[in-house]
Chains A and B, each alone.
Chain A
Amino acid sequence: MRRLWPRHVRSRMTLWYVLVLGLLLLAYAGVASSYLFYSLREQLDHDLLEDVERVEGLLENTPDGRVALEPVHHGEDELDTQRFVEVWSPEGILLYRSPTLQGGTLGGPPRPRPEGSAEPSPSTVRLADGTRVRMAASIPSVDGRRVFLRVAHSEQALWQEMEEIVSVLLLVLPPALVLAGLSGFTLARKALAPIDAMAHTAERISAERLNERLPIENPEDELGHLARAFNATLARLEAAFDQLRRFTADASHELRTPLTAIRSVGEVALQTPKSATEYRDVIGSMLEETDRLTRLVDSLLTLSRADAGHIHVQRTDISLLGLAQEASSLVEVLAEEKQQRISVEGVPTLIVSGDRLILRQALINLIDNAIKYSPAEAEILVRVAAGKDNRLIVEVVDQGPGVPQEHRSRIFDRFYRVDSARSREWGGAGLGLAIARWAVEIHGGQITFQSVEGQGSTFRVALPSTTTPEKNGHEEVST
């Protein structure tokens, strides 16, 4: 059964169309012809009842006790041949039978009741030879003698007319359906052609050619909508692929750097014999690079698990100021080494719901960055405050060189560094801000920054406050 069902939408549409149209036409023909039938029969009945009255007037007694039909006026001859008449006495004796009946009967002796009792109402009777007739009965009196009269007219003309009409209707139906089917199919194909074209284009667009887009003919109609949605998906895919490509390239670059160091240090060390102390130094240097590799792989793992959604956020209520103090005290020694001062200020009552470790990591990364980029004896300010729209704000203000304009859009990207040579010297892999951004965003927050070249940068973390319905926060993030 499944096999018979057409594969293409256009064929299915056409089939349905033809099926429905056929049924509709059939129903229409049925209703029309039955209406016609009933009105024709009503006409017949009307004539019949008139004729009954006429025949009543023509009846006369014959000397032999029977009844005869007076000779008819000429001109109505033809009616005679179409008319069947039977007259019975109330006792059941046949008094008259028209020759048209050819010895047959219109129903035998009269039954006492109800036949002929009330108004004569016509009914259909089948004669011995199979002719269908319309018959009416009445009980007139012929010169004071009550008789039982039956008059019938043939239905032949009616049926002939019906037959003609029905056959005309049925003859017209198939070609009409074929025509409808053809035009339906053409229409469906025409309507679906853009979808076909879109499918073909989509097939052509592979991972290597993601920059191609579907043409949009009419952006307002359904197909235009579909194409736009498809194009938007393509754009997101392309962006994701780009990001992945860049990420892979950057990651392999970052991995290659320590690997190169290990390799050259090892190879050079083997060129000439050395003392045990020197060898120890070489191995130590190689181990340092291994350490860097390990840390890099760990950071990448954290990010990839975050991407895959494998990191579970364990929310608790945290005092934001407390968290900022904790984070800054952890890295404070680094600032002290550079005679920098970190001051943490703000309202202690602001509570955020979040994963303590993840949020702390974000703050540590930001403060660590501020220490790295600020000059000696600088002051680093960590400010906790309530912001607009029920957001809680943490700002980390440094006195560093600021972020040059051309780097601003990418500093949260993985592996992105404003000055790669300089940053590597400090041991970073360019993942700190990427991790910070992830940590903030997973809590429904945002991370932004402002920077004035030569004066410093302010990194600003906005987190939804616990008192705010979660929804509010999400709405903001999405805009």
Chain B
Amino acid sequence: MSHESGRYYFGGESLRVLVVEDEAKVARALQEGLEREEYEVVVAGTGEEGFYLVSAEEFDLVILDLMLPGRNGLQVLSTLRKRGLVTPVLVLTARDAIEDRVQGLDKGADDYLVKPFAFPELLARIRALLRRGRTQQVARLQLADLEMDLVARRVRRGGKDVEFTPREFELLEYLLRHKEQVVSREMLAREVWRETSRATPLDNVIDVHMARLRRKLDEPFDRKLIHTIRGVGYVLREEQ
């Protein structure tokens, strides 16, 4: 994993994330994955434990499963919010019902993710939550010899102009904004194609667009920038 990718520091200390999740396998996977991204992770297996930990310690982010034994995730959340907790909370839910989402957001969740979710997506959401209010407008994006001018809508690689269709341009912009981070097809469908329903079959469409992007961006060059992570998605980075 390359340096500087998904990490944010406050005064040199890594960020603390509390994971409240009763399913041991999922909790362990989350812990391992987040620790690889150099977050400091604490896992709570029950709602009570999570509640206790949040009250006792400082966290930068809470990942909260809604279906918990003992105390329900939503109850934990609303109690915490009533007590003035301001830590961002990312809710995980297995229930893909709009009412649940609305309820979760009403109770004070900052974002939600429906299970099963793609890990790159979770990372992206966490980054977005931690970055909140600190986004800066950029006019130029860059990776290695690839330059993207968002204002003039121009792409240059190795000093040469490369022409893209509007869709390809948007796709490249998204990949470049998330350079060195794996993006899933689902993220692309939602962010680039603005397709909210997961049932719409866009995977083939995305694959074709990625293939075209590759043809224009990578084929003429020795150094490949677009990489496929099989079963997960795509990543734009310098080296394998």
Q: Are B229 and A284 in contact (CB under 8 A)?
A: yes
Q: Nearest Cβ in chain B — how far from A412, in angstroms?
A: 16
Most buried by B among A291, A299, A337: A291
Q: Bound state CA distance, A294 and B116, in angstroms?
A: 7
With a CB–CB cut-off of 8 A, which chain B residues contact A302?
197, 199
Residues of B within 8 A of A357 (CB): 196-197
Which residue in chain B gives the minimum CB-CB distance to A372? Answer: B204
The interface-forming segment of A134-142, A361-369, A416-424 is A361-369
Give the Cβ gap from A374 to chain B, nearest Cβ, in Å.
15
Is A31 an interface position by the 8 A CB rule?
Answer: no
* Contacts of B199-240 to chain A: CB distance below 8 A: 199-205, 208-209, 212, 229-232
Instruction: Tell yes or no: B198 within 8 A of A by CB.
Output: yes
Stretch from A196-204, A326-334, A464-472 forming part of the interface with B: A326-334
In the complex, the answer to whether B198 meets A298 with C-beta atoms within 8 Å is: yes
With an 8 A cutoff between CB atoms, is A435 at the interface? yes
**How distant is the Cα of A428 from the Cα of B231 in the complex, in angstroms?**
17
Residues of B within 8 A of A290 (CB): 116, 231
Instruction: List A contacts of B202 (CB < 8 A).
Output: 330
| Docked complex Cα distance between A302 and B205 (Å) | 21
Contact in complex: B231, A286 (CB < 8 Å): yes
Assembled-state Cα–Cα distance A364/B193 (Å): 14
Q: Choose among A281, A310, A337, A435 the residue that contacts B199 (Cβ–Cβ < 8 A).
A: A435
Q: How many A-B residue pairs have CB under 8 A?
A: 65
Interface SS of chain A: helix, strand, loop or mixed? Answer: helix
A368 touches B201 (CB 8 A): yes
Is residue B96 within 8 Å, beta carbon to beta carbon, of the partner chain? yes
Docked CA distance A432–B201 (Å): 9
Give the chain A neighbours of B212 by CB distance below 8 A: 333
CB neighbours (8 Å) of A345 from chain B are none
Bound-state Cα–Cα, A1 to B27, Å: 64
Q: Cα distance A286–B230 when bound, in Å? A: 9
Q: How large is the interface on B (under 10, 10 to 19, 20 to 34, 35 or more residues)?
A: 20 to 34
Q: Of residues 266 to 289 in A, which have CB atoms within 8 Å of B's CB atoms?
A: 280-281, 283-288
Question: At the interface, yes or no: B97 with Cβ under 8 Å from chain A?
Answer: yes
Contact yes or no, A285 B204, CB < 8 A? no
Binary CB contact string for chain A from 397 to 421 against chain B (1 if under 8 A, 0 otherwise): 0000000000000000000000000
Interface on chain B toward A: helix, strand, loop, or mixed SS?
loop
Q: Which residues of A contact B199 (CB under 8 A)?
A: 295, 298-299, 301-302, 361, 431, 435
User: In the complex where A298-B96, A301-B96 touch, is A331 in contact with B230 (Cβ < 8 A)?
Assistant: no
- How far, in angstroms, from A331 to B212 measured CA to CA in the complex? 14
Using a CB-CB cutoff of 8 Å, which residues 156-210 of chain B contact chain A?
A: 185, 193, 196-205, 208-209
Bound CA–CA A427/B201 (angstroms) = 9
Given contacts A298-B96, A330-B193, A333-B212, contact A287 B232 (CB under 8 A): yes
Residues of A within 8 A of B232 (CB): 284, 287
Task: Please give, as numbers and ranges, the residues of chain B lying within 8 Å of A301 by CB-CB distance.
Answer: 96, 199
Query: Within the assembled complex, what's the spacing in Å between the Cα atoms of A301 and B100?
Result: 14
Chain B 107-132, CB within 8 Å of chain A: the 1/0 string? 00000000010000000000000000
Bound: A364/B229 CA distance, A: 27
Q: Are A285's CB and B97's CB within 8 A?
A: no
With a CB–CB cut-off of 8 A, which chain B residues contact A286? 231
Give the distance in Å from the alpha carbon of A302 to the alpha carbon of B196 in the complex.
12
Asked if A305 is an interface residue, CB under 8 A from chain B, the answer is yes
Q: Is the CB of B96 within 8 A of A333?
A: no
Contact with A364, one of B116, B201, B231 (Cβ below 8 angstroms): B201
Most buried by A among B208, B229, B231, B232: B231
Identify the closest chain A residue to B198 (Cβ).
A298
Assess the A285–B231 pair: CB atoms within 8 A. Answer: yes
**Is the CB–CB distance between B208 and A333 below 8 Å?**
yes
Q: B153 → chain A, closest Cβ, in Å?
A: 20
Residues of A close to B203: CB separation below 8 A: 291, 295, 427
Known: A284-B231, A290-B116, A291-B231. A337 touches B200 (CB 8 A): no
Kindly state the separation between the CA atoms of A336 and B209 in the bound complex, as whole angstroms. Answer: 11
Chain A positions 207 through 226: 1 when the CB is less than 8 Å from some CB of chain B, otherwise 0 = 00000000000000000000
**Bound complex: CA A154 to CA B202 (Å):** 113
A337→B230 contact, CB < 8 A: no
Measured in the bound complex, the distance between the Cα atoms of B201 and A295 in whole Å is 9
Do A288 and B196 touch (CB < 8 A)?
A: no
Q: Is the CB of A364 within 8 A of B97?
A: no
| Sample of 13 A–B contacts (CB below 8 Å) | A280-B230, A287-B231, A294-B116, A295-B199, A302-B197, A302-B199, A310-B97, A330-B193, A333-B212, A357-B196, A365-B201, A427-B201, A427-B203
Interface residues of B (CB under 8 A from A): 96-97, 116, 185, 193, 196-205, 208-209, 212, 229-232
